[in-house]
Amino acid sequence: MKANIISKSEVSQNYTKDYVKEIYDLPFLELLFNAQSVHRLHQPINKVQLCTLSNIKSGNCPEDCKYCPQSSRYKTEIEKYTLLSNDEILKQAINAKENGATRFCMGAAWRSAPDNSEFDEILNLVRKVAKLNVEVCCTLGMLSQEQAYKLKEAGLTAYNHNLDTSENFYKEIISTRTYKDRLETIQYVSNAGIQVCCGGIIGLGESQDDRIELIKTLANLNPQPESVPINVLMKVKGTPLEAEVDIDPFELVRTIATSRILLPKAKVRLSAGRLNMSHELQALCFMAGANSIFIGEKLLTTKNPDLSDDEVLFKKLKLEAL
């Protein structure tokens, strides 16, 4: 290792693939030690932010993302509905806050945010959720620069728009948009002064190199994303990836640890996939620098651990909710 990764206080915007690979490939215990050391320099210790998701518009999405149960191209058994009313969503936000969530994330199965009265509804919604004193996040697909400015003005804290995997492997997973399209929306969000939430999915059949490339791309975004969700594929019946092989859980821990080291100021979010993880694996993820989870029995369309199960986990590990 050329640089001392623990004392590195300056974030470089020019990481090479070799450098990221060197970190990813460290002996496991050394990687964990380094990640936890970086974590302690930049993040509150033993604290994990709780977020809740709401699927505000479900299914019938024209995109062909091979992992996604909400794509109209695949026959999946999900509930489909048009945009929920502001009142309904607000009720969910209040409930999420009562359960301890400090961030409320609203997802819509759109290719891009609509440019009509529905967008005005979204703006009203953002204003109302922001008044609850929780962080407000949206993920609505591609945005125009104008829409990003409007969301900022309405009080949006963060916008989630994932790069999912490496640029090269992206083409194998989605054909209806490009990596460049994703980067463009991320740039608009950044320009508007909204926090960027950008991460990926592992378990799509990608190689280690693809994961390394993704982390390199995320770390080289300028500015770096404030939030990096790491999802493990939820295999949904009817999607092309329903029978994909399970990832080696240590690959998840390596992905989180490398993200923590290279994006020291970001919240690294252990997102989809916790339902199938043991408490021990989740503890390793926290040790590696994950410091946020989604709580509540549902993600967007798939199951998440029960609140009571997460309470047990937090008690056992003496973690505090943030």
- Element spanning 181, H or E: helix 179-191
Residues 205-234 that bind ligand DTB (CB under 6 A): 229, 231, 234
269 is catalytic: yes
CB of 211 to ligand SF4, least distance (A): 19
Q: Which does residue 71 touch among ligand DTB, ligand SF4, ligand SAM, none (CB within 5 to 8 A, set by kind)? A: ligand SF4
Q: Which contacts of 71-77 are long-range, i.e. CB under 8 A and separated by 24 or more positions?
A: 71/239, 74/238, 74/239, 74/240, 75/238, 76/236, 76/237, 76/238, 76/239, 76/301, 77/237, 77/238
Q: Is 230 helix (H, G, I), strand (E, B) or coil?
A: strand
198 is catalytic: no
61 is catalytic: yes
- Cα–Cα separations (whole angstroms), residue 2 to 6, 8, 20, 50: 12, 12, 12, 36
Judged by CB under 6 A, the stretch of 95-103, 166-174, 240-248, 299-307 that binds ligand DTB is 299-307
Closer CB to ligand SAM, residue 19 or residue 170? 170
Closer CB to ligand DTB, residue 22 or residue 167? 167
Closer CB to ligand DTB, residue 231 or residue 258? 231
Q: Which tokens is 152 given?
A: 């900022």
65 is catalytic: yes
Interacting residues with ligand SAM (CB under 6 A):
67-68, 70, 107, 109-110, 139, 141, 161-162, 164, 201, 231, 233-234, 236, 272, 300
- Cα–Cα separations (whole angstroms), residue 283 to 6, 206, 219, 292: 21, 24, 24, 12
Annotated catalytic residue: which of 105, 138, 198, 285?
105
Closer CB to ligand SF4, residue 22 or residue 242? 242
Q: Which tokens is 284 given?
A: 């390793």
Annotated catalytic residue: which of 68, 138, 198, 285?
68
Q: Give me the residues paired with residue 185 across strands.
A: none
